[in-house]
Structure 1
Amino acid sequence: MEPFIAEIRIMPYSFAPDGWAMCEGQLLRIAQHNALFSIIGMQFGGDGRDTFGLPDLRGAVPIGRGAAPGLTNRNLGEKGGAATVTLTEREMPAHTHTLLLSSSAPNSLRPGGKVPGAAKLYAPLTNPVAVAEQVIGVAGQGMPHNNMQPYLSLNYCIALRGVFPMRPR
């Protein structure tokens, strides 16, 4: 079955078959691929006089365009997302860390009054008192974390030749 011009398929090859091109954002000459240009136009780059761009699907997952209830509108050719993200303080859920200390009088100078020097540091204390949140220091290094879903790397290829897709009447 002959593909539609501009049809995109996932292929398990390390090459694009004859009549197809990898979807890697490369520029093609309009004069050599006039039918393909008439279908996808300038939405993926190029100068519109001599060249036009193919979609770049390397490291990307295609999503459906448009909008639906509860979803953000997406335009054809729109890019988004990131492989890694760094959460800001505003993106973290509100939470606190409570540190309980004993309000009893110290019973020794070492290891700091009622705080035991051995295991069971967090053992129940008599008369515990919560201290201000500022007493507990900030932790973390602000490093980005992986934001990618599980994946299997394959090639997206676009048909350079084939049947011209007719618009519905």
Structure 2
Amino acid sequence: MSDPYVGEIKIFPYDFVPYGFLACQGQSLSVNQFQALFSLLGANFGGDGRTNFNTPNLAGLAPVGLGVAPNGGTYNWTLAAVHGQEKVALVASQYPAHNHTISQPGGPTAAANAYAAQAGSLMTNANPAQYFAAPPTAANTTIHPAALAPYGGGASAVQPHENRQPFLVLTPCIAWAGVYPIFT
């Protein structure tokens, strides 16, 4: 294997960092100790740029290419910019249009009052204790928003959901030793 370029990022299937590399975890490094790497990274990933600088932090992040995304992309990805979220809480305006259907057990020919409410069900306090009633004149109607509490209970308790694509955990590392890249 040939020597890596200083600043080259490689991904290893080990639980350790090989010699000549540093973990890409955003750690602070001394400019004096890693002059070649600093000359390439500068303070783009953090640090004061005089006495220290940071490595790129790929912990929990996926790298994205520099520049405007193809096919009419709307973002101009700049070097070292971090975008996206690990978790997202959706709000009602983000839900796709959809319907909820309620089916009567026993099919459409079952008697409307054949299913009495069960103890502990929503309708136990109905009088008379009937689970089903005659359909309203407008059977296709909108359910009142208060009847559909978001997961976690109440609009103020909306919980975020996982937003990451499937992933495989590996060790991203950046070379501090090797061949210094020459710009052409």
Matches within 5 A, 1:120-135: 128-130=137-139, 133=142, 135=144
Shift of 1:111: 3.5
* Aligned pair partner of 1:149 in 147, 154, 165: 165
Aligned length: 153
Name the stretch that deviates more: 13-22 or 86-95. 86-95
1:9 partner SS: strand
Task: Report the AA paired with residue 78 of structure 1.
Answer: A
Quote the residue 2:178 is aligned against.
162
Name the stretch that deviates more: 133-142 or 145-154. 133-142
* Aligned pair partner of 1:110 in 128, 132, 135: 128
Shift of 1:128: 4.6
Q: Distance in 1 between matches of 2:21 and 2:136?
A: 76
The TM-score with structure 1 as length reference comes to 0.78
Q: Distance in 2 between matches of 1:79 and 1:93?
A: 28
Quote the residue 1:120 is aligned against.
none
1:133 partner SS: coil
Quote the residue 1:69 is aligned against.
71
Name the stretch that deviates more: 85-94 or 1-10. 85-94
* Aligned pair partner of 1:140 in 150, 156, 159: 150
Matches within 5 A, 1:2-151: 2-67=3-68, 68-71=70-73, 72-95=75-98, 97=100, 110-111=128-129, 115=132, 128-130=137-139, 133=142, 135=144, 137-141=147-151, 142-151=158-167
Shift of 1:45: 0.3
- 1:21–1:127 distance in 2 versus 1, CA, 3 Å: closer
Deviations 1:16-67 (A, max 9, x none): 1111100010011101111111111111000111000000111111111111
Shift of 1:126: 7.1
Q: Distance in 2 between matches of 1:126 and 1:163?
A: 78
Q: Specify every segment of 5 or more residues in structure 1 that has no aligned partner in the other structure, as ranges.
A: 100-105, 117-124
Shift of 1:131: 6.7
What is the RMSD of the two structures over their aligned residues, measured on CA atoms? 2.7
Task: Report the AA paired with residue 163 of structure 1.
Answer: V
Shift of 1:155: 0.4
- 1:129–1:111 distance in 2 versus 1, CA, 3 Å: farther
Shift of 1:147: 1.0
Shift of 1:15: 1.5
2:76 partner SS: coil
